[in-house]
Amino acid sequence: MENNVTTSELRRTSERLNEAFKNPPIFMPYFPLGYPDLETSIDVIEALAKNGADLIEVGLSFSDPLADGPVIQSATQTALENGITVRKSLEALAELRRRGVRIPLVLMGYYNPLLAFGLERFVREAEAAGADGFIVPDLPPEEAAEFEAALSGSSLPLVRMLAPTTPAGRMESIAREARGFIYLVSVTGVTGARDSVAEGLADLVGRVREHASVPVCVGFGISTPEQARAVGGIADGVIVGSACVRAIGEAGDKVGAAREFAIQFQKALRERNQRP
C-alpha cells in the first residue's frame, strides 16, 4: 500500500471530523472489521455510513480486549479466527473510501497489535487508507508518548477516554489536551447494553465540558434509540457499540439490519433536535 499522504489529504481528515460535529448530537456506531467475515463487515459499515451514521468507530480486533463486554469480545474473536489482521483492516478501510464512504472513520483498537505493526507505519498507512483518528482504550496518556510521536506531522487525533472514576485533576488535564473529541465512558465496567441511562451523566458531561475545547461524546451502555435520544440531550455524540454488534450479528440479513439500525438511531436523534 502506498502511503504518500498529500497536504490536501491531511486537511480532508480534519475537515471530516469538523463537518461531522456541525449538527450535534451525532450518531456514532461501532462495528469490528472481520465480523462475521471480512466482506460482510465492509458491507455492514458501508450500510451504517450511508443510512444515518455520522461517524463510525471501526474495530480492530485483539485477543485480549479488556474494555469490551461479551458481545464485542465474541465478535472480535470470530474476526480473529477468520484471519483478520491490521493489514487487512487497513485495506478494508481503503475499500470503504473507494465505495464512497465520506463520514469520519475512527479506528478503535488495542495497543499491542499497533505496536507489533510498527507505530509510524501504522499511522502513515491508516491515514493513507482514510482513517480520521484512533481510540486505544489500553493506552493511558502517561504511556502514549511513543504513539503521539508517531502522530506528529499527521492530522489524526488520538482520542482520549474519560470515565466517572477519573479524578478531577486528571480529568481536567486530559480534557484540556484532548483532540478530535472526548470519549466519555458513562458507566464503570466494560462495554455492554444497560437498561437505563446512567444517573449523574449530565453532571459528568458538564464537568468535562468545563475544560474541553472539543466535542464530548458518550458511550458504554446505550442500547436503544430512546436511550440515544436521552443521551443526545446531554452530549455532542452518542456511541453505540454492543447493541449495534448484537443486532447485526443476530440478523439473517446483516446489511439490512445495519441499514435499519442506523435509520432508527438517526431518527431518534433528529427528533430530539426538532423539538421546541
How confident is the model over 126-168, as pLDDT tens digits? Answer: 999 999 999 999 999 999 999 999 999 898 999 999 999 999 9
- Give the rounded percent of residues in the chain with a pLDDT score beyond 70: 88
Q: Which residues contact 190 (CB under 8 A, 6 or more apart)?
A: 66, 67, 68, 69, 220
- Quickly state the pLDDT bin for 273 (edges 50, 70, 90): low
57 is catalytic: yes
CA 272, CA 276: separation in Å to the nearest integer? Answer: 9
Whether the upstream peptide bond of residue 29 has omega within 30° of 0, thus cis, is no
CA 74, CA 88: separation in Å to the nearest integer? Answer: 19
Cβ–Cβ < 8 Å for 45, 58: yes
pLDDT surpassing 70 at residue 183: yes
- pLDDT of 258 reads 98
CA 19, CA 245: separation in Å to the nearest integer? Answer: 26
- pLDDT of 271 reads 85
pLDDT surpassing 80 at residue 199: no
State the catalytic residue, choosing from 46, 68, 132, 236: 68
218 forms beta bridges with 184, 238
- Quickly state the pLDDT bin for 68 (edges 50, 70, 90): confident
- pLDDT of 198 reads 64
* Grid coordinates belonging to 272: 430530539
Where are the chain's structural domains? 7-274
Least confident of 109-113, 138-142, 183-187, 252-256: 183-187
pLDDT surpassing 70 at residue 72: yes
Cβ–Cβ < 8 Å for 174, 141: yes
Least confident of 77-81, 192-196, 269-273: 192-196
What CATH number labels 7-274?
A: 3.20.20.70
State the catalytic residue, choosing from 57, 125, 132, 236: 57
Least confident of 79-83, 96-100, 191-195, 207-211: 191-195
- Quickly state the pLDDT bin for 5 (edges 50, 70, 90): very low
Query: What is the pTM for the complete model shown?
Result: 0.91
**Residue 163 host element (H or E):** none
Question: Average pLDDT of the chain?
Answer: 90
* Grid coordinates belonging to 153: 506531522
- pLDDT of 272 reads 65
